[in-house]
């Protein structure tokens, strides 16, 4: 724990959360084949909900504070922000990059690493004990920001955690890498990324979401991030998006209907038989 | 020994994947009219070096680490950083495994450059930059992106490219050895265990019956096993069932963090169709989805959708198959 911090007992956790367009609800514009963002719903990145839940569970067991930060280009819908707060975090910091300077994992990391220190000052925390991230965001699926942020802040990094335990200052983690499972441990402070295996994130009730309006959501402009290296940010060459398009689908997308289950499955078998995929 | 500067550098902690990178690396080297160098390290480094040379690398950079072997992404990224200092590549390709994704992100951050993750196609554009295509937004969209910076870094989807063939004749590539000193690891490994493995290889199956979160209890998998039996298929699963619950061995996982499969028939049972999953089953010839949620994204990725309770529909389907067999067989 952070010894010099007298205001908070326990573990101080900063969670990186991203508000994203829900990929499951994102449709292609019929005319252009490009994603139709205007009609898409927003949500908290699923893995970041796992990160928030993991943070809340650690803080519930060991005491401490859970704060979340999110880099935004425009404020997300209020109900999505409130849901994050209603899960139980004590404050939500929105780093407003309205000029869209932070365009990829490299530049996002530059901004977020500076923001960790600004938010620590605002929260009266000497240094964060734990930074938690989802293993990737399900929109861009880069999976870079966690390990990049750990590298930028010179923190030990544990990726793909599926279980976390805290014993004093020692954080234990189970993690699933390609063909093996590992149990590892690290002395805090550290940065950890989590996947969907770690927990089932809580679903706040409508009342909790309404009540969360009293909790602080604090907007910070890039100019308010004291440690932000503007020259480095200006010099960075981010990944450049040329275009995003829906590849042509070759799927038939036939919904098989019938009055009874038996009719439905027999129609399926008839079709699969005609396609040559089943033969009896 | 002077190292040739510039060129394409490829690196993976997985030997199979390194062979795949030599395939796409060769394409890029030809496009850019430059050389292809493979990075190897660890106890088997000499054997890997000889293998990479036989698979067409123009140069091998063998990184010796003083005491311990680079097993973690943190250590491996130090090895790769030293290799980059020696070779000064214009393009760096890293294998798109979980470990590889972390290695690439760490190295890219240390170098202050961009990185494109899990690319499915890559080429050198007219400006000498790396143009890639990657799946985004649940796998339903493709982003075409350009990586600039020096080096231009990308991770490459595992199994996207065939492993480079062993070549006939004399391989002349030089093996250049460099040293890297690994920092003390701050993350301590307490234990390591191989994840459970199965007898059958789902990447070779012609019929796959895939289970998702719609399966409520491990014993309910039996319902799908009956369907697999009657269709001569193999069981597979999405990430929730092959993760920590281990209801199915992890090598049965279809998706971004698992296997890429190309069966003739793929029956997705109780699978919603997140990007994680879709990426792995796009290559199936015919896809059937059984799901009670008409809005589930799996339906857009399917040829035939049955909207309803899989606990009712699957046994009904098994019965229909058995009747068909009795009639037709």
* Nearest CA among B173, B212, B213, B204 for reference residue B53: B173
Nearest to B306 among A28, A185, A268 (CB): A268
Q: Is the pLDDT of residue B197 over 90?
A: no
pLDDT in tens, A54-113: 999 999 999 999 999 999 998 899 999 999 999 999 999 999 999 899 999 999 999 999
- Give the pLDDT of residue A6: 43
Nearest to B109 among A109, A178, A242 (CB): A109
Given pLDDT bands bounded at 50, 70 and 90, which one contains residue B170?
A: low
pLDDT in tens, B35-56: 999 999 999 999 999 999 999 9
**Residue B79, burial from CB neighbour count under 10 angstroms (0-12, 13-18, 19+):** buried
Q: Which residues of A touch B136 (CB under 8 A)?
A: 139-141, 244
How far apart (Å, rounded) are the C-alpha atoms in residues B74 and B65?
13
How far apart (Å, rounded) are the C-alpha atoms in residues B170 and B186?
44
Nearest to B138 among A138, A257, A269 (CB): A138
Q: Which residues of A touch B305 (CB under 8 A)?
A: 253-256
Would you give the DSSP letter of residue A35? B
Between B197 and B34, the higher pLDDT residue: B34
B223's enclosing H/E stretch is: helix B221-231
Q: Is the pLDDT of residue B150 over 60?
A: yes
- Give the pLDDT of residue A3: 47
How far apart (Å, rounded) are the C-alpha atoms in residues B320 and B329?
13
Residue B245 makes CB contacts below 8 A (sequence gap 6+) with A197, B218
- Give the pLDDT of residue B158: 87
Q: Could A244 and B308 be called an inter-chain contact, meaning their C-beta atoms sit closer than 8 Å?
A: no
Chain A residue with CA closest to B275: the answer is: A138
Q: Which is it for strands B121-124 and B130-136: parallel, antiparallel or unpaired?
A: antiparallel
Q: Could A253 and B108 be called an inter-chain contact, meaning their C-beta atoms sit closer than 8 Å?
A: no
Distance from CA of A216 to the nearest CA of B (A): 30
- Give the pLDDT of residue A5: 44
Distance from CA of A247 to the nearest CA of B (A): 6
Distance from CA of B154 to the nearest CA of A (A): 10
- Give the pLDDT of residue B66: 78
Distance from CA of B242 to the nearest CA of A (A): 10
Distances (CA, A) of A174 to B251, B318, B323: 18, 39, 47
- Give the pLDDT of residue B67: 66
Considering only residues 81 to 120 of chain A, which have any Cβ-Cβ distance to chain B shorter than 8 Å?
104-106, 109
How far apart (Å, rounded) are the C-alpha atoms in residues B326 and B329?
6
A84 neighbors A68 (Cβ within 8 angstroms): yes
Mean pLDDT score, B126-130: 94
How far apart (Å, rounded) are the C-alpha atoms in residues A28 and A35?
4
- Give the pLDDT of residue B329: 54
Q: Could B118 and A182 be called an inter-chain contact, meaning their C-beta atoms sit closer than 8 Å?
A: no
Q: Is A231 on the interface with B (CB under 8 A)?
A: no
With a cut of 50, list the residues of chain A below it in pLDDT: 1-8
Q: Is A215 on the interface with B (CB under 8 A)?
A: no
How far apart (Å, rounded) are the C-alpha atoms in residues A90 and A88?
6
A128 neighbors A13 (Cβ within 8 angstroms): yes
Mutate to test the interface with B, among A37, A141, A197 (most CBs of B within 10 A): A141
Chain B residue with CA closest to A180: the answer is: B194
Q: Could A253 and B305 be called an inter-chain contact, meaning their C-beta atoms sit closer than 8 Å?
A: yes
Q: Which residues of B touch A109 (CB under 8 A)?
A: 109
Q: Could B244 and A21 be called an inter-chain contact, meaning their C-beta atoms sit closer than 8 Å?
A: no
Strand order, beta sheet including B234-237:
A254-255, B304-307, B286-291, B265-269, B207-211, B234-237
Q: Could A246 and B264 be called an inter-chain contact, meaning their C-beta atoms sit closer than 8 Å?
A: no
Between A237 and B242, the higher pLDDT residue: A237
Size of interface A-B (CB pairs under 8 A): 266
Mean pLDDT score, B222-249: 89
pLDDT in tens, B316-329: 999 999 999 888 75
- Give the pLDDT of residue B322: 93
Residue B242 makes CB contacts below 8 A (sequence gap 6+) with B248, B249, B250, B252, B253, B258
B313 neighbors A261 (Cβ within 8 angstroms): yes
Q: Which residues of B touch A242 (CB under 8 A)?
A: 131, 143-146
| Two structure tokens written together for A165 | 């335990």
- Give the pLDDT of residue B228: 95
A16's enclosing H/E stretch is: strand A11-16
Q: Could A253 and B112 be called an inter-chain contact, meaning their C-beta atoms sit closer than 8 Å?
A: no
Q: Which residues of B touch A150 (CB under 8 A)?
A: 106
Strand order, beta sheet including B115-119:
B115-119, B152-157, B91-96, B8-11, B36-41, B59-65, B174-180
How far apart (Å, rounded) are the C-alpha atoms in residues A205 and A226?
37
How many C-beta neighbours within 10 Å does residue B33 have?
8
């Amino acid at each position: 724990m952070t010894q010099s911090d007298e205001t908070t007992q326990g573990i101080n956790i900063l969670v990186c959360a991203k508000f994203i367009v829900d990929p499951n609800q994102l449709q292609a514009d019929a005319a252009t084949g490009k994603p139709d963002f205007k009609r898409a719903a927003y949500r908290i990145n699923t893995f970041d909900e796992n990160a928030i839940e993991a943070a809340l569970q650690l803080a519930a067991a060991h005491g401490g504070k859970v704060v979340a930060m999110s880099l935004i280009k425009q404020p997300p819908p209020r109900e999505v922000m409130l849901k994050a707060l209603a899960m139980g975090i004590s404050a939500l910091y929105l780093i407003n990059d309205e000029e869209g300077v932070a365009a990829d994992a490299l530049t996002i990391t530059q901004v977020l690493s500076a923001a960790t220190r600004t938010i620590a000052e605002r929260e009266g925390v000497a240094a964060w004990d734990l930074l938690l991230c989802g293993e990737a965001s399900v929109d861009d699926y880069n999976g870079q920001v966690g390990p990049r942020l750990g590298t930028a802040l010179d923190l030990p990094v544990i990726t793909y955690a599926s279980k976390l335990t805290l014993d004093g200052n020692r954080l234990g983690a189970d993690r699933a890498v390609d063909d093996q499972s590992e149990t590892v441990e690290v002395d805090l402070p550290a940065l950890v990324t989590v996947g969907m295996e770690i927990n089932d994130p809580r679903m706040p009730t409508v009342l909790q979401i309404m009540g969360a309006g009293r909790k602080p959501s604090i907007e910070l402009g890039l100019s308010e991030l004291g440690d932000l290296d503007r020259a480095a940010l200006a010099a960075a060459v981010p990944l450049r998006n040329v275009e995003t398009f829906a590849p042509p689908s070759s799927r038939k997308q036939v919904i098989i209907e019938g009055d009874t289950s038996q009719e439905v499955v027999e129609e399926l078998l008839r079709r699969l038989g005609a396609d040559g995929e089943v033969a009896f | 020994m002077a190292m040739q500067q510039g060129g394409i550098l490829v690196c993976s902690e997985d030997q199979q994947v390194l062979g795949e990178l030599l395939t796409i690396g060769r394409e890029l080297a030809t496009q850019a009219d430059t050389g292809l160098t493979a990075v190897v390290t660890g106890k088997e480094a000499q054997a890997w070096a000889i293998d990479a040379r036989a698979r067409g690398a123009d140069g091998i950079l063998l990184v010796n680490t003083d005491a311990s072997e680079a097993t973690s992404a943190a250590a491996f990224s130090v090895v790769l950083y030293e290799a980059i200092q020696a070779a000064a590549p214009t393009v760096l390709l890293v294998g798109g495994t979980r470990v590889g994704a972390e290695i690439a992100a760490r190295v890219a951050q240390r170098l202050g450059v961009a990185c494109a993750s899990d690319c499915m196609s890559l080429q050198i554009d007219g400006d000498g930059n790396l143009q890639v295509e990657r799946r985004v937004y649940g796998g339903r969209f493709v982003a075409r992106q350009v990586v600039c910076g020096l080096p231009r870094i990308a991770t490459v989807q595992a199994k996207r490219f065939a492993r480079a063939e062993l070549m006939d004749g004399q391989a002349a590539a030089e093996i250049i050895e460099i040293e890297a000193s690994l920092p003390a690891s701050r993350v301590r490994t307490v234990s390591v265990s191989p994840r459970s493995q199965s007898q059958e290889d789902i990447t070779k199956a012609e019929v796959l019956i895939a289970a998702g979160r719609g399966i409520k209890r491990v014993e309910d998998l039996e319902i799908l096993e009956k369907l697999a039996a009657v269709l001569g298929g193999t069981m597979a699963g999405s990430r929730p069932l092959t993760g920590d619950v281990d209801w199915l061995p992890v090598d049965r996982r279809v998706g971004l963090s698992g296997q890429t499969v190309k069966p003739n028939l793929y029956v997705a049972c109780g699978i919603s169709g997140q990007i994680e999953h879709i990426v792995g089953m796009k290559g199936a010839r015919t896809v059937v989805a059984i799901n009670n949620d008409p809005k589930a994204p799996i339906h857009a990725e399917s040829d035939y959708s049955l909207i309803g309770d899989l606990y009712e529909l699957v046994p009904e389907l098994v019965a229909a198959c058995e009747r068909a067999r009795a009639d037709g067989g």
